[in-house]
């Protein structure tokens, strides 16, 4: 229950405001560059670009993409992806014991089986310490970091992740990079994030921009995000089934959408390049031009088919003839690399220019690469930087990667390691390890809360804010049903509160204002931590800095009552007014709060003020009565009568005070002689 609900002043107000929760979400990353960030550079052969190995890769984004299992070794994909995609001639049996232990961890988490969890943890520890398996070390670091069947120990978690990263485990590299960034050790963080971002960016498309598949936030503040969850049920979703039916009946637009869903893994579907190819081909037969470009991508990348650059160029050329300007990016790329055609930088630039002239972000990005490296043009880092900024403002993820490298190396932009770290992280989080989010969401939708919590917890360790928020929300929302595993078995209430507090705190550090509010609530009420009004105020001020209306409301309340902040009715009113300015939906609670201020100012130490001050203590009992009595049908009349009774009592009290005051003013004076008649 949100703090603001607990701050209302009469029973009716408590009931009404509980029906209007504030929508609270973390804000997206926003890149702001000023003139001070731009660096005066000489476009000559002395540029550090030539001596810096970080610029030696294929900055256009390669088509030679490795399988996810190679990019993310030790991934749990084998345990979650369909068997048909896992069992192959290259199946590595040397990891069978590792995956067996991980499977036990997953099963134990889902069923709350402490004995099985301890058995699995012991197997992982043996594989890590005796065999030196880097992937087992990564999981052991996770167990120590979370305090699962092992004493929570950040030092041991760090050491295991360090050696796992040295052994090639990408997820431990993510965990280490996040740890370094939290401690402002940007020189170490930026190197790891740069490596991980490169893996991610080389899997992006060469022509059009792929949809940004963000992890789904399963809650909006204190409420489940039902609309987003509804759109993530994959083949079980009614809307998807209707779309599939339309596609089967020959609707070209539906066929194209079906291909998109399967190609990118949208709407909760697993990626299936074979099905995507089938639907795109059917859509083309029905005259749907948008499928042409994706067919070019498929053949250029060899996604579900044998790679064929000649066919790729044919499909992309057809797409460009239909006005799909992003297809020029793929055509330009093939000419830059000489894939299926003779290498021709001049022609490549012409294609990129056509895409850019039609406001395609990919065109601006590719021109930026040509000017950055001097490919077919005279090198000009300033022009390259401008191209990347235009592409980044349009949401091109590869442009964020290039700007990160510029901040990292000081080429084109002044060296800024914190900014480089943030941008690299933004790109790295789109790497193959982000599949954890899909598996967690699938588990959540199936009601497997223990499995969902485990997967979100693993992602949280890698630094994903949404995963931190989701894991904490599951703990708070589902309690024992979260199947949280503690140091010696299923989590105690104290362990759950402590873990939720830690996760919310991490999320708040990354800009989640709802998390900051809950941290404030935890300190204000002593939930999972020692009650501390001053730290509660600090958390609310942090949320307020993100222009959060509820935080301002809470700060007003604390000033009104002198809890952790100086008693100041004027400041309280200012915060209440600011909350209303930011969120018109706060009109009711702010109006009630201002009414409380008026009562407190004009009737200090009165019966009404004592009622207001006692409400936070009796609120839990009132809340239970609201749920069990008032919300039942037929009790609205009781509520109305109760409110009327309170109103009558208030008015009678006010009338009595006025009567006393009037009597005092007109009482006869004994020393006054009555006037003669």
- pLDDT score of 227 more than 80: yes
- Asked which of 38-42, 147-151, 444-448, 563-567 is least confident by mean pLDDT, the reply is 38-42
Q: What is the C-alpha R_g of the chain?
A: 31
Identify the band that residue 93 occupies on the pLDDT scale cut at 50, 70 and 90. Answer: low
Tokens of 182: 């939290």
**What's the pLDDT score for residue 102?**
96
Q: How far apart are CA 428 and CA 511, in angstroms?
A: 18
Residue 504 contacts residue 490 (beta carbons within 8 Å): no
Give mean pLDDT, residues 401-427. Answer: 94
**Would you say how long the chain is, in residues?**
677
The string over 457-468, giving b where at least 16 C-beta atoms fall within 10 Å of a residue's C-beta and e elsewhere, is bbbbbbbbbbbb
- Asked which of 40-54, 115-129, 173-187, 505-519 is least confident by mean pLDDT, the reply is 40-54
- pLDDT score of 89 more than 90: no
- Asked which of 75-89, 137-151, 414-428, 502-516 is least confident by mean pLDDT, the reply is 75-89
Q: How far apart are CA 153 and CA 155, in angstroms?
A: 6
The residue written with tokens 């490549």 in the block is 348
Residue 558 contacts residue 533 (beta carbons within 8 Å): yes
**What's the pLDDT score for residue 334?**
93
Contacting residues for 602 by C-beta, under 8 A, at least 6 apart: none
The residue written with tokens 């014991």 in the block is 97
Distances (CA, A) of 266 to 212, 234, 290: 10, 8, 17
**What's the pLDDT score for residue 658?**
67
**What's the pLDDT score for residue 38?**
61
In degrees rounded to 5, what are phi and psi of residue 485?
Answer: -100, 125
Q: How far apart are CA 640 and CA 634, in angstroms?
A: 11
**What's the pLDDT score for residue 606?**
65
Identify the band that residue 677 occupies on the pLDDT scale cut at 50, 70 and 90. Answer: very low
The torsion defined by the Cα of 250, 252, 253 and 259, in degrees rounded to 10, comes to 90
Give pLDDT tens digits for 19-66: 233 333 334 445 556 555 666 555 544 455 554 444 444 666 655 567
**What's the pLDDT score for residue 539?**
85
Residue 500 contacts residue 460 (beta carbons within 8 Å): no
DSSP per residue over 507-529, as a string?
Answer: HHHTT-HHHHHHHHHHHHHTSSS
Higher-pLDDT residue of 116 and 602 is 116
Give mean pLDDT, residues 286-313. Answer: 91
Could you count the other beta carbons within 10 Å of the beta carbon of residue 499? 25
**What's the pLDDT score for residue 633?**
45
Give pLDDT tens digits for 548-582: 888 888 898 888 888 889 988 888 888 888 888 88
Could you count the other beta carbons within 10 Å of the beta carbon of residue 110? 17
Q: Is 568 left (phi over 0), alpha (psi -120 to 50) or beta?
A: beta
In degrees rounded to 5, what are phi and psi of residue 185?
Answer: -90, 70
Could you count the other beta carbons within 10 Å of the beta carbon of residue 489? 15
Contacting residues for 556 by C-beta, under 8 A, at least 6 apart: 571, 572, 573, 574, 575, 576, 579, 593
**What's the pLDDT score for residue 615?**
57
Give mean pLDDT, residues 64-86. Answer: 75
Give pLDDT tens digits for 512-546: 888 888 888 888 888 767 888 898 888 888 887 77
Could you count the other beta carbons within 10 Å of the beta carbon of residue 195? 16
Angle of CA points 82, 88, 89, to nearest 5°: 170
- pLDDT score of 467 more than 60: yes
Q: How far apart are CA 267 and CA 88, in angstroms?
A: 27
Give pLDDT tens digits for 320-378: 999 999 999 999 999 999 999 999 999 999 999 999 999 999 999 999 999 999 999 99
Average pLDDT, the chain: 82
**What's the pLDDT score for residue 293?**
93
């Amino acid at each position: 229950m949100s703090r603001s609900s607990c701050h209302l002043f009469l029973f009716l107000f408590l009931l009404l405001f509980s029906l209007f929760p504030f929508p609270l979400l973390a804000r997206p990353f926003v890149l702001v560059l000023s003139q001070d960030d731009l660096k005066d550079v000489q476009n000559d052969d002395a540029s550090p670009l030539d001596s810096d190995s970080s610029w030696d890769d294929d900055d256009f984004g390669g088509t030679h993409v490795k399988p996810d299992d190679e990019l993310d070794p030790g991934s749990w994909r084998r345990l979650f992806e369909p068997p048909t995609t896992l069992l192959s001639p290259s199946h590595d049996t040397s990891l069978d014991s590792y995956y067996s232990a991980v499977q036990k961890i997953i099963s134990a988490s889902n069923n709350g089986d402490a004995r099985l969890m301890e058995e699995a943890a012991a197997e992982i520890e043996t594989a890590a310490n005796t065999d030196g398996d880097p992937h087992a070390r990564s999981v052991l670091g996770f167990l120590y970091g979370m305090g699962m069947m092992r004493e929570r120990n950040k030092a041991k978690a760090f050491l295991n992740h360090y050696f796992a990263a040295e052994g090639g485990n990408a997820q431990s590299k993510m965990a280490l990079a996040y740890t370094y960034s939290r401690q402002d050790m940007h020189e170490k963080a930026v190197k790891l994030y740069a490596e991980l971002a490169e893996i991610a960016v080389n899997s992006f498309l060469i022509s059009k921009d792929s949809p940004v598949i963000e992890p789904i936030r399963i809650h909006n503040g204190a409420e489940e995000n039902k609309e987003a969850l509804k759109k993530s049920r994959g083949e079980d979703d009614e809307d998807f089934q209707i779309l599939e039916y339309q596609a089967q009946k020959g609707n070209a637009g539906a066929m194209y959408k079906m291909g998109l869903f399967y190609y990118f893994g949208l709407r909760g579907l697993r990626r299936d390049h074979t099905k995507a190819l089938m639907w795109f081909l059917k859509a083309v037969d029905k005259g749907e031009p948008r499928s042409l470009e994706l067919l070019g991508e498929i053949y250029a990348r060899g996604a579900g088919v044998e790679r064929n650059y000649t066919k790729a160029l044919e499909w992309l050329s057809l797409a460009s003839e239909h006005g799909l300007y992003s297809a020029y990016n793929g055509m330009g790329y093939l000419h830059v690399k000489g894939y299926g055609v003779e290498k021709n930088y001049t022609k490549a630039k012409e294609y990129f220019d056509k895409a850019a002239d039609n406001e395609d972000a990919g065109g601006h990005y590719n021109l930026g690469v040509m000017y950055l490296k001097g490919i077919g043009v005279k090198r000009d880092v300033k022009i390259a930087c401008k191209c990347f900024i235009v592409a980044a403002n349009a949401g091109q993820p590869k442009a964020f990667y290039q700007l990160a490298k510029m901040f990292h190396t000081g080429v084109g932009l002044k060296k800024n390691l914190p900014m480089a770290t943030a941008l690299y992280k933004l790109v790295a989080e789109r790497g193959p390890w982000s599949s954890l989010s899909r598996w967690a969401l699938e588990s959540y939708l199936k009601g497997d809360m223990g499995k969902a919590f485990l997967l979100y917890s693993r992602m949280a360790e890698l630094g994903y804010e949404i995963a931190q928020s989701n894991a904490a929300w599951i703990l708070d929302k589902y309690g024992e049903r979260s199947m949280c595993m503690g140091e010696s078995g299923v989590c105690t209430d104290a362990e759950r509160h402590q873990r939720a507090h830690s996760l919310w705190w991490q999320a708040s550090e990354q800009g989640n204002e709802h998390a900051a509010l809950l941290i404030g609530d935890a300190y204000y009420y002593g939930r999972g931590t020692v009650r501390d009004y001053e730290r509660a105020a600090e958390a609310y001020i942090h949320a307020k800095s993100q222009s959060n209306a509820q935080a301002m409301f809470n700060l007003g309340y604390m000033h009104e009552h002198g809890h952790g902040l100086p008693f100041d009715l004027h400041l309280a009113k200012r915060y209440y007014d600011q909350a209303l300015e930011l969120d018109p939906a706060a009109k009711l609670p702010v109006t009630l709060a201002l009414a409380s201020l008026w009562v407190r100012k004009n009737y200090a130490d009165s019966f009404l003020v004592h009622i207001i001050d006692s409400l936070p203590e009796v609120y839990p009992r009132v809340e239970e009565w609201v749920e069990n009595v008032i919300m039942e049908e037929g009790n609205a009349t009781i509520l109305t009568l109760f409110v009327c009774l309170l109103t009558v009592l208030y008015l009678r009290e006010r009338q009595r005070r006025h009567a006393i005051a009037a009597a005092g003013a007109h009482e006869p004076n004994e020393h006054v002689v009555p006037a003669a008649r």
